[in-house]
Structure formats: C-alpha cells, structure tokens
Structure 1
Amino acid sequence: MLIFYLLVLGSDACAQKSSNQKQRNPVYVDAHGVMRWTKDKKEAQFFGVNYTVPFAYGYRSHLALGQDLEKAIDQDVYHMARLGFNAFRVHVWDTEISDTTGTLLKNEHLRLFDYLIQKLKERNIKILITPIAFWGPGYPEPDQPTAGFSSRYPKREAVVNETAIRAQERYLEQFFQHVNPYTGLSYQDDPDVIAAEINNEPHHSGPKEETTEYVNRMVAAVRKSGFSKPIFYNISESPRCRCSSPRQHTGGQLSV
C-alpha cells in the first residue's frame, strides 16, 4: 500500500484560515489512518449504501416509469433511515454535469443531487462524495450522449492525457465551490459532508511517480476550492506494473 502525505505551506494568514476550516470539519484521519470525530476524538464508524437516482440509469428508469424523482428520493431516504444507515456514498456521473473542458453544468442532475443531500441531512445520514466516475451513464443500456470530459477520454487515458487532467482540475475546483441551493452550503461548509474521494476505481499503469503527480494535482484542485476535509484515493481496479506507454502508471492505495 502506498500512502502519500500532503504538506500545505503558506502564509500565516493562510495557515490560520486553514486551521479555522479544519476546526469546522466533523471528522479527521489520525496518524494511524483511523477516522475520528473532531468533537470527541472517538473513532467514526459508518454503515451505508451507494445510491444513484439523480444520475444515469437510476434517473432514466424513474422517468420511464413516470415517477416523480423527488418523491422517489424522499421515500428511498426514509427507508435508508429505517434500515439504520448513517452513511451515503456516490460516484457522481461527472459526464452528466460537466462539459469536455471540465466546466460544471448546473442542470437537473446536479439539482437532484443537491436535493438528495438535503434529504439525507434531514435523516442525519453522513455523506462521502466521489465527484468523478470516469464512465458513461448507460449501463445496463447503451451509453447516452453527454457533453462531459469522461465521454471524450476513456478511463485509462483520463489519468495520463494532459488536456483531460486539466479538465478534471477545472471540474473539481468548480464542483467543490458549488453552493447547494437547498442548504445554502458548499460541501466544505456542510457538516454532514464528511469527506471526499477523488475518483472511482481509476486505471493506473506505469511509473509510480506519474501516478503521484496526477493524484497531487487532483488534490491541489480540490484544496484550491477551500475544501479541507479528508480526501481519499483508492486504486482497486486493473493496476499494471509494466506497460509500453511512458505516460501510464502503477497502482496503489493512498489517503490524503
């Protein structure tokens, strides 16, 4: 397992701002890699579920059945609470809320995601956001045409192509600056958003230094938005130790 520690340097004013932000963060990761509640230092433990109705097939299937998506979210979140879930995680379909340059699109998918967050908050369900999924919204149907950068760059290319990397940097900064119209809060200021994961199951092969460079650039883009909560990075699919391309990466697992 590869663990990378990010050291952020700046002026005293910047350091003070960062310290104030971290004091508002509900959880932190200690030196042993254990997530703890900021308020009492106890280990933070969660039991939850992925849920994707604002995006992809979940979204389309409800429309095909003539269902009101807000009412469906209301009912589903109610049952999550009844099941005892206290956590929610989703890999956001970035391809449905971005264009090829990484500009955030404030459309129906993003609105429903913000609505879902509000409903989760009402049930005291904590939220971990993975803002990049890397793939199209079709499965189990054929992909639908979208404007997002993930529609242009395949998963393996997205982590090595400079244009794709710049699009991801732009998207991450705008995504984490976005203010939820239902809560009036950014993801940094929302106490029920506890952490973020950069992307979902990336494909890395080749020199590990280039993988580190990519991850550091993604983290820097998120931090630039003002997000100071824990950031996770997990490589769990198709790592390769060797390949012919000098711009592909080796895999590992890391938390930042």
Structure 2
Amino acid sequence: NLFRMHGFDSWIMAFSTEDKTPLPRYVDRWDRMVYELKQQGIYLQLDIFSFWLYSSARGWFQVAEKRMANKILFILGDSAIRERFTEMSGRILNHVNPYTKLAWKDDPAFIAVEYYNELGLAIPYAEKLERTYPDVYKFFKAKWSAFLNQKYANVPQAKRPYPPAVFEKAPVLGVSDRNQLRSDYDEFWYEHLKETYRFCDQVMKNNGYKGLTLQCPMPALRCAAVSWESLPIVDAHGYHCHPDGGEQPGATVKQDSSVADASALFRRRFSDRMYGRPFFLNEHNYVFRNAYQYEKPIMLNAFAAMNDWDALAIHSGVVALTNDQRLSSFYSANNPVLRAGEFLSSLFFLRRDVAPAKHKAAVALTKKYVFTKGNSGSALNPTQSRLMLLTNVSTLFTDLPRNSRTPQPQKPDFIFQPAGSADIEWHGWFAEAKENGTSSASLESLVAALRKRGILPKDNITDLSKEIYQSETGELTVFAKEKKASVITPKSEAVALPAGKTEKLRTLEVRKNSVNTLIGLASVDNRPLKESTRMVLVLSTRVANTNMQHDASGVYLRVIGTLPVLYQCGEYEIQINRPGKLRCYALSLTGERMEEIPLSPNAAGSAFTLDMTKLKHGPTPFFELATEK
C-alpha cells in the first residue's frame, strides 16, 4: 500500500499568507496523517516540488501558471529556484514528527522522494518562452548557445556541422524538427537533466536522507538515457484518454477502448521502465466520460502484475468522507466503476493473484542509437511494445553506465533491438507516444523468437493477424478486435465483454450480458475460487452525472451535470461453476449487505439472473457470494 504525496507543496501551505511558511495546524495535520498511515502499513512517496513550490496561498495561481518556465529554470541551474529546493527539502526532511518521534528523512514509511514532478514535460515549451517569460527565454538561449559552442570549440570552423550563424545565435527547435541540429539540442537537455539529478542527489545527501529517490521521465529517448544513468527508480505517469478542457463546455474526452488499442496506456511505458530496477506507475487513471473505464483492472493492473511492476497509484481522490461530489475527470472515491476497478486491482496486483511472467525480455539501446538523427526526441516504436502483453519487458542500455545505486541484474532471457521510433504528443499536462502504423514485421519476428525459445508455450494462442494476445502464463488474454479481454487465476477471474456477448471462464460463466460490462469474481478469504467460502462478484459498467449532456460521439461535453451519480444498469445471467450451496447479496459501495438475490442450484453449481434496475436500493457493482450456513 502506498500514498503518493503529490501536490504537497500546496497542501502544506493551505491558507498561509507568508511564502515558504506553512501554518502550524497544517504541519501538525500532515504529521498526524504520516503517523496514522504508518500504523496501517501504508508507505508514502514524498514529492518535494509539484507546481506551487511552497508559495503562499495567495500566490498559487501565478506560480502554477509559470510551472513550465520554473521547470526550465530548474533544469538549467537557475540559482534562485535551486536554492529554494535546497532550503525547503532540508526543512521538510529534517522536520521531526512529534507523533513518530522521527525526522521525516529517517522514517522508513517514506519509501522514496520525488524531486520535481514531470520535470522533462517542460522541454518542448522552451520555444514558447520568448513571448511568455522573455527573461527565462534569454537565460535558456544563453545556456543552449554556450553548450553548442563548447561542444565544437576544438573543431575547426571548416569542419563544423553548422554555419557560423548557428553558433552565434543557436536556433530553438520545435518538437517536429528532425534536422541535424536535433541530436545536439537533445544532448543539451540530456546533459542538463543528468546534472540536475546530480544536484538533487547531493542535496539529499547533505540533508542526511539515505532512502530511495525517483523521477517521472517523458517518453523521449533522451529521457530514457538519463533514467538509465541517473535514477534508481522510475515513476511513470499516464492516462487512458486524458481530458482536454477539464469539465468545461466543449471539453473533450476520447471514446477509445483500451482493449481495442491493445492497452496503449500500459504499452507506452515501453521506454520508461529500466531493466533490473523498481518501476512505479504512481499517477494514472482511466478518466471519467470515457465509456471504457471498466476495462482498467484487466488492461492496466493485471498486465502490470504480469510484468512484475512494483507500485500503482491511481490519481486521484480515492477517499471521501462525504458523498457530495459529482463525477469529474480524475476523482475516484465517488465513481463506482473506478471503485470496482480498484477492488479487483488490489487482488490482481497487490495480492498478486496474477502471476508474474517467468521470463524477462529487454530492448537494447545505445547512446549512439538514441542520438542518431530523429531518435532522441522521439519515443520507441509502439508496435514492438505489444510484447508487453506477452511477457515481462523493459529497456536497457549496453554502453552507458548504470545508476550507481542499482545492483547489477542478471542477464535477460531475451534481448532484442529497437525497430524505428514514434512521434510524441506533447500536451500541457502529459506526453505520450503516438501509434504510427509501423509495419508489424519486427513484432512478428520477435513473437516467433519467443516461441522458438520456449518463452511462449506451444499452446499459447497469440495470433497477431487476429490481434489476439495471450501472456506467457496463459492467465491474460486479449481479443482486441472483439473488445474482449479476460483474466483467469486460481483466486480471481474477470472478463471485459461488449453488450450481447457471453463468455465461459473457469469458475465464472456469463450467459447473458446486455451492456458493456466487466464481470469479475474474486475470493476475499484468500482461498482458490473452488474452495472459497466468501467471494465478491463485480458487475462494472458506466457512470454519468444527472442531466449530463454531450454530443452523439460522447467526445464533446456540453453540460457536466450534477448529483446524484447515475449507474448504467444491465440484465445478466451468471453461472458459478463450483460445488457447494451459495447465497448472494447485493452490497453497498462500502460492503454492507443490502438485499439477497435468489440463486438457483444446478448440476454445475449455482446460477442467477439479475435486472439491475430492479434492485431495491439502487444499482451497485458489488455482490457477495457466500457459502450457506
């Protein structure tokens, strides 16, 4: 269990009118929360800088508006912002918690410290600084020009790759530029990011912090090289169909299925994960208004477990003391679909119902490859990333020094070479690799190699021509064209099904399903489903606000709506194939029994039919199945 303290540089400053000076009652509140979480065995990830940099509450808007410029200044070594980082990290880490009697830096409840949230996201915005923050732009241009002149200082003018005008006034490159200067421009950022992390590491050392540190890289290959050399842990961030425009009229949310796109959100971590070290995805979500939120526990969390990732933290708002908020893009506590997904995910991932792959594969990169023209500012080819649906995949570098705090790992079972690159979509709040329609020939040869080496067993049904993907363990299967995906483990089973489709798993059988639904069955007494005395059945569909309006496609929002939250109701016929008499109860979101659902025993086990609209206390995703006493 883990809680990421994202936005701490604003939460601690609530109602403060003095820069860098939080009110004592909020310091006490955080100390108490750290103590209480520790008592529950919940670890914490501390973010030093997010957006607000410990400014007073009255200055939050201006500081947040300048977030990209501040990140550029931090990367390029501006003394003022780095002194601020040094001061505030020292005060926080050396603060003694009166409840635990430990300084934060010495408390093992803090599993890792994150220096600066999504630092590399600012790099593409350097070209925009000229009109928004001209002083920052001037500082950046001077650094860029100095780097270029220093790199070629000993190269005769006649042999330099660029004319004198480039060295006199180094041009700023946009994200689409693929000229010869691109590699030098990205190397400039690569070197400065490495220096930034060395600076941050030293600040931690000076403060006596001996724990782990991490950062969130961007998908550009220049960042992958930095991660390999500089980070003991990578913490990636990503969203399925990130909103554009929030909840305002005209805001957009794509209506893509993550089954149909073979879990693009999951696969975009291809170049983020470094071989032989921990990997977190501690900011992620399937956002509200996307019609396929129900797919998340299979298409993200289960595959993360199969790839043996180390931490997952949904963003955001997982706990609510009152039920008084309408649905919004990221908020989870009042969203029954996300609640159901987190329940199943805690079993697939945290309980490790989903077995990790027995083999490890890695794409082998070199610094030369990264800084080959056109690669450094691009992402790895997403086509090859589909291997992540089959086995445990990560990235390694063969010619760069490994981070000094990372032990030498064993050699992967399978090493392969990259095949091309992909453009990146840069947004003010995220960056993600684009699917580029590259030929699948390289993927086909890789799958054939996995079969030849016995990594994929003979009975594995993966078929690229049909877009069928099955993990080497056989527990996870995706039928992308059918928008169907399943998980079958001894303690839990689930299937994401389109309306009108049926499916027979091992214990769970869906004989009727009238709406798009994730149907799951999980043991909650830690026994196999065939022996469990208490199980939970999940029927996860879709949610909306009352009077919410959007266009026919569902993409464009017109009116966000109000409470109460609405839940899409379906009609189902479910068969539970296991011996023993069972009783079934509809549960509230917090687990209380609300009403009993009649079951019909049969030769194979028990069956029931359900019309969600007829439940006495309203629809719910949760149903208890318990052995009859």
* Equivalent residue, structure 2, for 1:171: 88
Please state if 1:130 is matched with 2:47.
Answer: yes
Cα 1:146–1:116, aligned 2, differ >3 Å: closer, same or farther?
Answer: farther
Residue 154 of structure 1, aligned match among 63, 67, 75: 67
CA contact (8 A) 1:188 1:227 kept: yes
Residue 226 of structure 1, aligned match among 208, 219, 237: 208
Residue 235 of structure 1, aligned match among 213, 217, 234: 217
Please state if 1:255 is matched with 2:170.
Answer: no
Structure 1 position 108, deviation (Å): 3.4
Residue 214 of structure 1, aligned match among 196, 201, 204: 196
Q: Which has the larger radius of gyration?
A: 2
Residue 35 of structure 2, aligned match among 118, 124, 128: 118
Residue 145 of structure 1, aligned match among 53, 58, 69: 58
Please give the alpha-carbon distance, in whole angstroms, between the structure 2 residues aligned to 1:148 and 1:180. Answer: 30
Cα 1:177–1:224, aligned 2, differ >3 Å: closer, same or farther?
Answer: same
Please give the alpha-carbon distance, in whole angstroms, between the structure 2 residues aligned to 1:174 and 1:136. Answer: 13
Residue 3 of structure 2, aligned match among 75, 84, 88: 88
Structure 1 position 120, deviation (Å): 0.4
Cα distance per residue 1:195-240 (max 9 Å; x no partner):
2121211135351211222221122112211100111122238x69
SS at match of 1:195: strand
Cα 1:105–1:230, aligned 2, differ >3 Å: closer, same or farther?
Answer: same
List 4+ stretches of structure 1 deviating above 2 A: 95-99, 101-111, 146-158, 203-206, 249-254
User: Given the two structures, how large is their TM-score scaled by the length of structure 1?
Assistant: 0.50
**What letter is aligned with 1:187?**
W
* Structure 1 gap ranges (5+): 1-85, 138-142, 242-248
* Percent of matched pairs sharing the same residue: 19
Cα 1:103–1:187, aligned 2, differ >3 Å: closer, same or farther?
Answer: same
SS at match of 1:167: helix
Aligned residues: 158
Please state if 1:197 is matched with 2:114.
Answer: yes
CA contact (8 A) 2:47 2:116 kept: yes
Please give the alpha-carbon distance, in whole angstroms, between the structure 1 residues aligned to 2:62 and 2:206. Answer: 21
SS at match of 1:145: helix
Structure 1 position 250, deviation (Å): 10
Task: Kindly report which structure 2 residues correspond to 1:3-18, keeping only aligned pairs within 5 A, or say none.
Answer: none
Please give the alpha-carbon distance, in whole angstroms, between the structure 2 residues aligned to 1:230 and 1:152. Answer: 30
Higher RCO (Cα < 8 Å, 6 or more apart):
1
Cα 1:191–1:222, aligned 2, differ >3 Å: closer, same or farther?
Answer: same
Structure 1 position 136, deviation (Å): 8.2
Please give the alpha-carbon distance, in whole angstroms, between the structure 2 residues aligned to 1:91 and 1:117. Answer: 14
Please give the alpha-carbon distance, in whole angstroms, between the structure 2 residues aligned to 1:105 and 1:144. Answer: 10
Cα distance per residue 1:13-37 (max 9 Å; x no partner):
xxxxxxxxxxxxxxxxxxxxxxxxx
* Equivalent residue, structure 2, for 1:187: 104
User: Given the two structures, how large is their TM-score scaled by the length of structure 2?
Assistant: 0.22
SS at match of 1:188: helix
